[in-house]
Structure 1
Amino acid sequence: MRLKSENFKMMGKLGVIVLGMFCFGYALVPIYKTICEMTGINILALGDREIPGATPKLPANTQVDRTRTITVEFDANSRGPWHFKPAQNTLQVHPGELATVMYEFQNVQNRTMTAQAIPSYAPVQAAAHFNKLECFCFSEYTLAPGEKKQWPVAFVIDPKLSRDVGTITLSYTFFEVGGKTPAAPMTSKATTAAAVPDQKLGV
């Protein structure tokens, strides 16, 4: 009888332990989440907050003036027997908005050549507000016979541009390095003001 009594006691103790372990396991998930939220050690518990080591979300560009739209016209001129043109003729952009256009070039000669581009703008006052972040006019390029290239122009129009300006023409003249530097071109479309050359080649 005494042995049975001890067995029942042992079984009771084991039952209590099993029940305690079950309760602990059931409560472990909410406890774990609470601890992780307090310490920030669990990426899944961070939700929409910034994750350590991850690329931060970029804030919205509050400098973009969405109340205005500027039409940017792209023009290309070449001084020599090669092909040079923009991938598109016009682009609608908001002041303060980053935009990109591609220019295409092909050396159709049977010899290697090195060339560079000179930009110009119309109307004249637009030059000070047309900010290029990336432009092929910053460098000279050497192309083999028949070689084709595409170059980007990334730009932002300053929101301080006069509201009287609704259209800007960006024109490039591509010429062979070593020859006589050509004068800045007049834009192919009629404008009220002559284009002004960008003496800094990329401002």
Structure 2
Amino acid sequence: MSEDTGDSNRKMLVKLIVIAVMMFGFGYALIPVYKHICEVLGINVLTQRDGSVDVGKNTQVDTSRSITIELDSNVQGTLRFRPTQSSITVHPGEMATVVYEVVNSLPRTVHAQAIPSYAPHSVTPHFKKMECFCFKQQTLQANEARQMPVVFYIDPAVPKEVKTVTLSYTFFEIAGLEKTASN
């Protein structure tokens, strides 16, 4: 290979490296340039500078009506299970939290599951749980007491005639889990 070819290849390599670095720099610089352009034009602005947005207010809440949520519990087996309050009043769209308490008074570990139900049945698709102990099986140690929250909201599309909803949980011991786990 001649010296001219080697010099030519080195020059080409340097040019390619410079172009690659410039392309990377251009791509990196586009992020703040894009944010600035969007801010100036008022497009895709995530924060308001004038403080006109009320962060604590949910605009999806229907404050023109209220729904009473009656809390109920049933238990199959030897556990004690109950809501810590009998009812709560919410506006459709408003996030709410209720707490259920379970007590395992047995001298052994218990595996259990809660199954929810709603009345009237028509409210079922409108009852939206964000957090619930019913999403997974619960393991309660011997003589353990636990408070378990349910975080939910009622979809504002719930029929207007719904004034009262009953949220009921049946909490039951899962038999045979010990044998399944050891196999």
Q: Give the TM-score range, shorter chain.
A: 0.5 to 0.7
Offset at 1:178?
Answer: 2.9
Offset at 1:58?
Answer: 2.7
CA deviations over 1:96-142 (Å, ceiling 9, x no partner): 00000011001011211100100000001010100000000001111
TM-score by length of 1: 0.60
2:163 aligned with 1:166? yes
Distance 1:61 1:128 in 2: 21
One-letter amino acid of the counterpart of residue 69, structure 1: S
Distance 1:147 1:171 in 2: 22
2:72 match:
75
Q: CA RMSD in A?
A: 2.0
Worse-superposed segment, 56-65 or 131-140: 56-65
One-letter amino acid of the counterpart of residue 147, structure 1: E
Residues 91 and 119 of structure 1, relative CA distance in 2, 3 Å threshold: same
Whichever of the two has the greater Rg, that structure is 1
2:97 match:
100
Unaligned runs of 5+ residues in structure 1 are 1-47, 180-203
CA deviations over 1:64-89 (Å, ceiling 9, x no partner): 00000000001010001111000101
2:119 aligned with 1:122? yes
1:30 match:
none
Offset at 1:143?
Answer: 1.1
Higher share of residues assigned helix:
2
Runs of 4+ in 1 over 2 A off after TM superposition: 48-51, 56-60
What count of residue pairs does the alignment treat as equivalent? 128
TM-score by length of 2: 0.66
1:141 match:
138
| SS of residue paired to 2:124 | helix
1:154 pairs with one of 133, 151, 163: 151
One-letter amino acid of the counterpart of residue 58, structure 2: N
2:85 pairs with one of 59, 84, 88: 88
One-letter amino acid of the counterpart of residue 79, structure 1: Q
